[in-house]
Amino acid sequence: MHGGRGEGLRADPGTLRPVPRFYITTPIYYVNDAPHVGTAYSTVNADAIARWHRLCGDEVFFLTGTDEHGAKMAEAAAEHDMTPQGWADTVVQRFQDAWRALDIANDDFIRTTEPRHHATVQAFLQRIYDNGYIRLDTYRGLYCISCEDYYTSDQLVDGKCPVHGRPLVEMDEENYFFELSRFEDRLLEWYEAQPEAVRPATKRNEALSFIRGGLRDISITRTSLRWGVQVPWDPDHVFYVWYDALINYLTAIGYGRDEERFAAWWPAVHHLIGKEIIRFHCVWWPAMCMAAGVDPPANVFVHGWLLMGGQKLSKSLLRTESGEAAARLTDIAPQALVADFGVDATRYHLLRDVPLGADGDFSYDGIVSRYNADLANNLGNLLARVATVVGSKCSGAGPRPDPHSELGQLAAAVVEEARAAWERMAPHEALEATWHLIGRANAALEAAEPWKADPGPAVDAVLGDALEALRIVSLLVSPAMPSTASEIWRRIGLKGDPADCRVPDDAAWGGYPGGVTVEKGAPLFPRRQAGG
């Protein structure tokens, strides 16, 4: 159990049991270009984790959105002959469409151009200013527009941005600076006191070594750009995009507008972020909170990158140097995957293939082989077999499970493993555990061969167990594959929806009622050919 759970409890009026609150966020995505499979990775993982917590009965708030200010956005809008707002309005639609296609159930969608966000940024930063942590100075430095970040010359690779490989722009302006250097000790103390705040440990160490290396004050406003949130005490300046973006996490829960709501959700947040934005979330952000007199975020979980041919799939790399679209990468827009594999198989792959926290290869053949092995051969096959044999040996009525079967003991252990894995932000392990149960249910069928046996109690017992395993599997996969879970639930004759159940109580062995109609239906996951 990590920092977020257990805080800000309210009682469930039915049971009087405390209901934990669970607040989870994705980074807000730049709208300089369309969503892609890398941004889908963050979003699908956050969505599945949020769905798991809902399944456990937690009160969940899942936030995602778009980061719409800054030089990169203004540049993209100009390239398309549009105003920044017009461009943001167009691209935000693509994000919302992509998330709809991926069955993302966010509770709020924040756009940094919204008035509620401008007001929050101004209130929050005014507090930091009033607290004496912001000063005026002149900035000279090399800026990467794709990163929206400065680099020193020793950080460059071949004189270019180490992340994007693009040339840097010389900046020389009068800026307001946030005195980050004054927070070195407080940040180190915070890391010491909150050993779980940044996970995994490798990423925590990365943030710590950055702090120990010495912190410099950061430039947080621009005069060369109008596209941003106006600085309340000096209207010639707008806030630097990163400095406004981080505050989105507070805007959505009512900072400065609804103190009760804000106190209910903060600081027990879970920020899910990619590894390239550690410094912003694990150094700047806690320091900004401290400077404003707000508790730092309780949990930051850092995930790795999906790589293709060794390169991160970022929007800036979707174009080749000559400006042409790189066909291979544009082929893997989230909707292209959904059209090809279906929404649940796409979600499953993004959750199962690469452990959250590590980097991993993303390839078309990789999806096909995992799809065939896990979804077609294992899960799909289990349902198809059980439904067929229930049809031929039990007249289509699913029998009850054996309350004392070995599979039942395994199922209880799997439910517990899955719960622990979701709690520690390890969806791939939760799914791996679930597939262990699917594998054992298939193996039990193969050993008993009910299709060869005469109808009777022995056949009923093995089929009842398999149906009960499928019921529990539906519950456990519902955060990852909501439609598949509902469909299995329906086909094995159950009413309602797995997402309306409560885990662990409803996942206890023995819940399958028996005597209900089992429907075979078309294969859930028809097998795919590799390479196409």
- Binding residues vs ligand MSP (CB under 6 A): 27-30, 38-39, 41-42, 67, 245-246, 248, 273-274, 277, 305-306, 312-314
CB of 67 to ligand MSP, least distance (A): 3
Q: How far is the CB of 391 from ligand MSP (least distance, A)?
A: 44
For residue 397, the minimal CB distance to ligand MSP (Å) is 47
Tally Cβ neighbours within 10 Å of residue 137: 10
| Residue 81, both tokens | 């002959």
Q: Given the complex with ligand MSP, which of 69 and 491 has the nearer CB atom?
A: 69
For residue 503, give both structure tokens: 């885990």
Q: In this complex, which beta carbon is closest to ligand MSP, that of residue 18 or of residue 309?
A: 309
Of the two residues 134 and 288, which places its CB atom closer to ligand MSP in the complex? 288
Phi-psi region of 357 (alpha: psi -120 to 50; beta: other; left: phi over 0): left
Alpha-carbon torsion angle 207, 210, 216, 217, nearest 10? -10
Q: Minimum distance from CB of 66 to ligand MSP (Å)? A: 8
| 3-state secondary structure labels for all residues of 296-349 | CCCEEEEECCEEECCEECCHHHHECCCCCECHHHHCCCHHHHHHHHCHHHHHHH
Exposure of 103 by Cβ count < 10 A (0-12 exposed, 13-18 middle, 19+ buried)? middle
Residue 196 main-chain phi, psi, to 5 deg: -100, 0
Kindly state the smallest distance separating residue 447's Cβ from ligand MSP, in Å. 41
Q: Tell me, what amino acid is at 194?
A: Q
Q: How far is the CB of 29 from ligand MSP (least distance, A)?
A: 4
Q: How far apart are CA 31 and CA 276, in angstroms?
A: 17
Tokens at residue 85, please? Answer: 């707002």
d(CA 379, CA 481): 12
CA 477 to chain centre: 16
Q: Which is nearer to ligand MSP, 218 or 463 (CB)?
A: 218
Residue nearer to ligand MSP on the CB measure, 346 or 478: 346
DSSP string of 15-81, one letter each residue: T--EE-EEEEEPPPEE-SS---HHHHHHHHHHHHHHHHHHHTT-EEEEEEEEE--SHHHHHHHHHTT
Q: How far is the CB of 318 from ligand MSP (least distance, A)?
A: 10
Residue closer to ligand MSP, measured from CB, 239 or 435: 239
Map tokens 């106190």 to a residue.
263
Please name which of 254, 218, 211, 256 lies closest in space to residue 239, comparing C-alpha atoms: 218
Taking the least distance from each CB to ligand MSP, the nearer of 347 and 393 is: 347
Q: Which is nearer to ligand MSP, 287 or 524 (CB)?
A: 287
Q: Which is nearer to ligand MSP, 26 or 474 (CB)?
A: 26
Task: Compare residues 88 and 438 and give the one whose CB is closer to ligand MSP.
Answer: 88
CB of 132 to ligand MSP, least distance (A): 25
Q: What is the DSSP string of 270-282?
A: EEEEEGGGHHIII
- Quote the least distance from Cβ 516 to ligand MSP, whole Å: 42
* Cα 520 to Cα 166: distance, rounded to the nearest angstrom: 55
Which of 27, 479 has the CB closer to ligand MSP?
27
Size (the chain), residues = 532
Confirm if 524 and 372 have CB atoms less than 8 A apart: no
Residue 463 CB, shortest distance to ligand MSP, in Å, is 42
Least distance to ligand MSP, CB of residue 332, Å: 10
